[in-house]
Structure 1
Amino acid sequence: MRNPSMAAFKQQKVEDFYEIGEELGSGQFAIVKKCREISPGLDYAAKFIKKRQSRTSRRGVRREEIEREVDILQQLQHSNIITLHDVYENRTDVVLILELVSGGELFDFLAQKESLSEEEATRFIKQILDGVNYLHAKNIAHFDLKPENIMLLDKNISIPHIKLIDFGLAHKIEDGVEFKNIFGTPEFVAPEIVNYEPLGLAADMWSIGVITYILLSGASPFLGETKQETLANITAVNYEFDEEFFSHTSELAKDFIRKLLVKDTRKRFTIQQALSHPWITPVDKQQALVRRLSVVNLENFKKQYARRRWKLSFSIVALCNHLSRSVKKKIFMKQDESGRTCESDTEEDIAKRKLIHSRRRSST
């Protein structure tokens, strides 16, 4: 049951208490900006969430969805999860004052490295698992685990501290209450989401399997040429460990991924089983040595990373141009009267869903 005080967002102007600075990022209906508390002068991140103004509108986030995100964040206090500091509200936005996570995305950091052993990789995976373990112990599912939501507190150390962010899709899973929804980023969603089946904590474990696969190889296990092909690959659990990308990957690592990419949620690894897997927690010296000697395919990872950045830029420009032409045609306006810009949340969201360029599947 929700604590009534959670919904009582402060109605004062956030600018009276925080100096709002540069933009750090944006999503479908949110913009994140750096901010500094006027007193005592600490730095935070301000997430401006656009509120839906009417029931018939499709722009903005419904008030109850924002309340759910805030309610969940208020319950969380863990070193691998972003912390909520304060909440303000005005006529158009709800503003979440969050812990400032300034180290960038984990995958961006890895793309800059010259080499990476599986032992080093598991230190990052272990932090992700620790954060998810905390959530699952509270029966909270994140439902949007993907590289863009795995951030670093500070990248200027050898093994940076991971923070899980963006709890906009997170839900508390309650006994006896069936929850179904179709949401998330297609590349990372579990089969039960695609098939509109009851959802639970297991959906996060599937996403961790996909993330681990990409981290070790640079390839994406289910991403197809189209969204429909991606979803079909997911429901069929159509993936393989191509020798081209996994020639230096240990069997321990592959086994860890196999135990997560299981269609039957009852047989899929739980968070506790994942933490106990010998790839994460070796039980003898031989397993520890295997991790130390096995390496991540950084060459392909970097190649895919470069394509990913190029594809994102290209997608945004191409999509803006296409939508600009469509809008002009639809409302019968001249080119200089359209006023259409590339600032649409929808455009950016679609572009973000194409972030990782997959390998082309073989026809065999």
Structure 2
Amino acid sequence: YPDKIEEGTILHSSKASYQLGTFLDDGSYGKVLRGKKLRTNEAVAIKIIKGDYLEAGPMEFKALKEIKRIKADKNNLIKCIDRFNYRSRAFIVFEMLDQNLHHFLSKRNFSPLGISEIKVISQQLLVALKALKSIGLVHTDIKLDNIMLVDHKSQPFRVKLIDFGLALKLEDLETGSIFQTMPYRAPEVRLGLPLNEGVDMWALGHTLAMLLKGSPLYPCDSDYNVIRAMVDMQGKWKLDSPIEHLVKTGKKVKLDKRHCSSFEEILEERNCQVELFVSLLEQMLLIDPYRRITPEEALQHPFFTENNYDNQIVKAVSGIANKRSAKAQDPISQQDKTIVGKDCSRNYVDRNQDKICVEKCVRVPSCLEILNNATTQGGNSVSLCAGPKFR
């Protein structure tokens, strides 16, 4: 950058004038600086497109214009305020946000987030992907660095997806193209297979897994080790041995066995009640992009639709007590007195069999205590679900 473009420089567009501030971050093809809109003193972020990549400026702005049609703020996407050329440079002005998730986690020494925090973040980002899909836009670079907290102090875990410098229209995705940062790269990109918007869902799944684990789900050193880890966790296809890989590619690999060998290990490492989240992750990280869950489907997953296990189980148990009271004089078989635990979906009452089926994963201790207390008083036997099986 020439010396004339520095902190304090005044920039002029057809809409407004801006003053450059201090450095914030590096983005795709450019640097991002703090800025100020002079007429209103509004804080903004100003992206300066590098000289060698001036053609990327119009490409990113084209993507941002598409996003403007679907109301960026409502769909958890960064809002573009202005775009202009000045002194042989391209500038894009954005709303000012707080910090990216990578920076946020680094300040916590990458300690994992709680499941309630992950739920809030993941739901917002799935809304963002749903919106992008509606306009046929693929981000292609979803990662911790490109997810920003809006204002963590006043709006905890409110996030937006940023940096559309590598975004492409769906019809412009070319088989064999290489994009996405190594740990987040979808298998179809690594293997040169046909591509669709599922590459974003894969990258988001890996991002959310990192929030749960505090570390990457797969090794980051080579495509071979990543694919080997995928095979271990998610199913098998014919994978070359290290020797076969060396013969074919001339690349020697040292096996990295530090990755998880199954999704269950995520649960074991955290010892959390996160079965529903892991169930969602499995569907986000399906090897076959055409079977991978879509944003619309993901937002209907029980991880989001079943919000309060304790309250719903208490409600179910209260229903049993009311039913007993109403039928105090009726003969009831032992079978009719059984609470049947099933998989994770929703509650229902089968009135023909006088049986309440609590379709919940009741692993939370408080839930167990509630059920045990209620059924001990009534003398019923209880069958509790063991939770979904993932393999």
Deviations 1:113-136 (A, max 9, x none): 999542332011111111111111
Helix, strand or coil for the counterpart of 2:151? coil
Map Cα deviations across residues 4-54 of structure 1 (whole Å, 9 max, x no partner): xxxxxxxx95498111111111146311111111112211111001132xx
The corresponding residue for 1:46 is 46
Whether 2:253 is the aligned partner of 1:253: answer no
For 1:342, the equivalent position in structure 2 comes to none
- Residue 90 of structure 1 is matched in structure 2 by 86
Residue 37 of structure 1 corresponds to 37
In the TM superposition, what is the alpha-carbon distance from 1:179 to its structure 2 partner?
Answer: 2.4
Q: 1:123–1:159: 8 Å Cα contact kept in structure 2?
A: no
Q: Within 5 A, what are the aligned runs for 1:223-262?
A: 223-224=219-220, 226-233=221-228, 236=231, 238=233, 239-241=261-263, 242=265, 244-262=268-286
Are 2:75 and 1:78 equivalent residues in the alignment?
no
- TM-score between the two structures when normalised by the length of structure 1: 0.66
3-state DSSP class of the match of 1:82? coil
The unaligned stretches of length 5 or more in structure 2 are: 1-9, 234-260, 314-343, 347-359, 366-391
5+ long unaligned stretches in structure 1: 1-11, 53-60, 295-364
Task: Give the match for residue 156 of structure 2.
Answer: 159
C-alpha distance after superposition, 1:252-302 (max 9, x if no partner): 1111110111111111101111111111222773569869959xxxxxxxx
CA deviation string 1:301-333 (max 9, x = no partner): xxxxxxxxxxxxxxxxxxxxxxxxxxxxxxxxx
**Structure-1 residue corresponding to 2:290:** 266
CA 1:114–1:290 in structure 2 vs 1: closer, same or farther (change >3 Å)? farther
**1:249 offset after TM fit, Å?**
4.4
Alpha-carbon distance in 2 for matches of 1:245, 1:152: 27
- CA shift at 1:107, angstroms? 4.6
Please identify the structure whose Cα radius of gyration is greater: 2
Please give the residue correspondences for 1:202-241 in structure 2 after superposition, counting only pairs within 5 Å: 202-224=198-220, 226-233=221-228, 236=231, 238=233, 239-241=261-263
The answer (yes or no) to whether the contact 2:273–2:363 under 8 Å persists in 1 is no
2: CA distance, partners of 1:95 / 1:292: 52
User: Structure 2 CA distance, aligned partners of 1:142 and 1:99?
Assistant: 19
1:172 aligns with 2:163: no
How far off its partner does 1:90 sit?
A: 3.5
Distance 2:129 2:301 in 1: 15
1:192 deviates by: 1.1
**Which residue identity is paired with 1:85?**
I
User: Helix, strand or coil for the counterpart of 1:159?
Assistant: strand
What amino acid is aligned across from residue 204 of structure 2 in structure 1? I
Give the superposed CA RMSD.
3.0
Q: Which of 264, 279, 282 is the equivalent residue of 2:303?
A: 279
Q: Tell me the amino acid that sits aligned with residue 265 of structure 1.
A: P
Render the CA deviation track for 1:196-236: whole Å, top value 9, x for unaligned.
22221111111111111111121321124x23344434664
Counterpart of 1:66 in structure 2 is: 57
Query: Structure 1 residues 88, 62: closer, same or farther in 2, change over 3 A?
Result: closer
Between Structure 1 and Structure 2, which shows a larger proportion of strand residues? Answer: 2
Contact 1:119 1:291 in 2 (8 A): no
Q: Which amino acid aligns with 1:227?
A: S
- Using structure 2 for the length normalisation, give the TM-score: 0.62
- Kindly provide the amino acid, as one letter, of the partner of residue 168 in structure 2: H
Q: Which has the higher contact order (CA 8 A, sep 6+)?
A: 1
